[in-house]
A and B are shown apart, each in its own frame.
Chain A
């Protein structure tokens, strides 16, 4: 590991620091406007379009892409695939950061963010799927925090606390999978109440299932994708176990992603049959649906399978990035593009630059926090003083 002196001598004006600094500065500026002048000053939201990219991207995409935590910890601790052990901590970390940032972003989106705990402490609307989402996200963020805490406790040298937390691993993992199943699916089920507004190709009684299954794809792909980036920028932080297992993780997760994508593809086709939406395939929306179905589900499924068969890690890594993009496309389609399809284009939504600035701001906070944590805490390596759990 590099000596601390080395990091201190690093130039402060690296390209990363400059870009991140600009985004954070702009984000802070927009934050001030948002909380002093309201949503009208910072967003293009309207009475027809109450949800913009702060929901479509920050919530729907954010939660899906943070699925790596439950997928990886379930694989390692429940299914007993110990060869993925070195991937658990990075996945839990990105999951935790992802959910924390989702909650941060919601503070920008809702009208009165200081009331976000109201559904639990003042009055509960238990008939709402949003209540299920809120309850599960709140609980799961807590679970992820506890699951992440051993790394921080090792860093801080709090051995006793760490020992207690590590004992909870299995219970937390199972609870995490239950909560993730519920809220990943109910994010899709949110749209069940609006059959007249979501295009029939995307509106399906199976939409909750689609969201859940695709979250598994998102989790698997994100682990491969993040590990690719981590190898490029934090190679020196990785210990022998991590480096030895990394290729196996990419191969194993790529294989799983190929199978899950195949199942997802079949489900999507059954979904069209179930609502008998075939005729819409010949329309403009149908063409875009086929792009999603063939280009972002079937293609990565095939590419993952080829990559695994040939043990071609390059193909697997590129496919993982493509598959992540596919999840973004799907969530944008459901939340923004195919939603309100019936309205004339003059009434449709396009994000204000300040909305994009806040979304970038939130992602940048995540990247900076990730960078700080992996350079200070035992994430990509096992702490020499502690046994693996």
Chain B
């Protein structure tokens, strides 16, 4: 068998088109994804953070976010627990009287840039994208505003511009993706005066964290938050106290978000394939059942009619026979009667003749 050059090129083109159309979604797929190999991350060291809020300030500046009501230098805003909102991609919270800590502890919140983000998996217009540099970015030009990403995110990071009537957006930290592309550091990392934030390749950061564990025995707990949480995150946190003391959930598990929904999604082809066949079968069975019932009932009706007819015929024949018999009997009776009458008349005639003869004899 020979393949023409034209045919071969045609196949190649089709294969290329197929590959382009059927390209698996990188961040939102359901296969195990250990992260882009060269992806960046940030290591946040709770033991180094001094709660100066410089990172918040830098974030507001580089991202062009609205200025806060109270200046960044006002540290009393940390008297209450805050979360990310549509005007703040990152916030620092203060934790007082944590057992095992000498003073207050600070923890920075921002998007953790999951290796397999729940937001990207949940978005029905695929507005979120896990980039190869590690960042998870959002495309407002397709967002419908269903806010399922906010339901899905285990770290409660995405926020919404509820106050905008016409152009509300989901707002969240971008890992300063535009700056990374230019070769710049994220705003918060660049400004941090305490070196609490370390930028680097994620695999190097994991190594650095372990080195710190070894170098400073007793200073850290042997847990890198984000190494496995929800399948792993680009941002990693290390601390000297249990993470739950810093408002971080320790019950998230190690399963990436897409794993949680893949079973439910796999039901779609089963139902779509099996149901029509099954239901048509049930329909056919019920139709056939009705048909058989109809046939049986019409057969029963026919049998009943035939039987009734036969019975009527027999009755008729019987009646006919009876009538015939009666008729014959009546005729016989009549004949008999006539004969008897005739005989009687004859006898009377004979008697009368004898009497006449007697009478004739007397006078002589």
Contact = CB atoms under 8 A, between A and B. Distances in A.
B282 A50 contact: no
A74 B144 CA distance: 34
A193 B145 contact: no
B30 A127 contact: yes
A372 interface: no
A193 B121 contact: yes
B66 to A, nearest CB: 15
A134 B173 CA distance: 28
A50 B121 contact: no
Contacts, number: 189
A109 B162 CA distance: 11
Interface centre among B30, B154, B267, B276 (most CB of A within 10 A): B267
Interface string A97-125: 00000000000011111011011001111
A196 B229 CA distance: 12
A78 B282 contact: yes
Nearest to B126: A125
Nearest to A33: B165
A78 B278 CA distance: 10
A116 B126 CA distance: 14
A189 interface: yes
Interface in B232-271: 249, 251-253, 257-258, 260-261, 263-265, 267-268, 271
B54 interface: no
A243 to B, nearest CB: 24
B124 A38 contact: no
A132 interface: yes
Contact of A51 (B85, B147, B289): B147
A80 B290 contact: yes
B150 A181 contact: no
B282 A128 contact: no
B151 A50 contact: yes
B260 A195 contact: yes
A193 B122 contact: yes
B293 to A, nearest CB: 10
A150 to B, nearest CB: 19
Contact of A111 (B124, B160, B267): B160
A161 interface: no
Contact of A174 (B123, B279, B286): B279
Interface bin, chain A: 35 or more
Nearest to A116: B144
A181 B268 CA distance: 9
B144 A45 contact: no
A77 interface: yes
A386 interface: no
Given A38-B163, A127-B29, A196-B249, A189 B261 contact: yes
A51 B156 CA distance: 13
Contacts of B154: 194, 196-197
A111 B125 CA distance: 14
Contacts of B168: 38-39, 111-112
A129 interface: yes
15 contacts: A46-B162, A47-B159, A47-B160, A50-B148, A51-B147, A51-B151, A112-B167, A119-B124, A123-B142, A128-B122, A130-B124, A130-B148, A178-B279, A190-B151, A196-B252
Given A47-B86, A47-B158, A128-B148, 19 more contacts: A38-B162, A111-B168, A112-B166, A115-B125, A122-B142, A123-B127, A127-B258, A128-B121, A128-B124, A130-B148, A174-B275, A182-B267, A182-B271, A190-B148, A190-B151, A191-B151, A193-B257, A194-B154, A205-B263
Interface of A: 35-41, 43, 45-48, 50-51, 74, 77-80, 109-113, 115-116, 118-119, 122-132, 134, 170, 173-175, 177-178, 181-182, 185-186, 189-197, 205, 208, 342
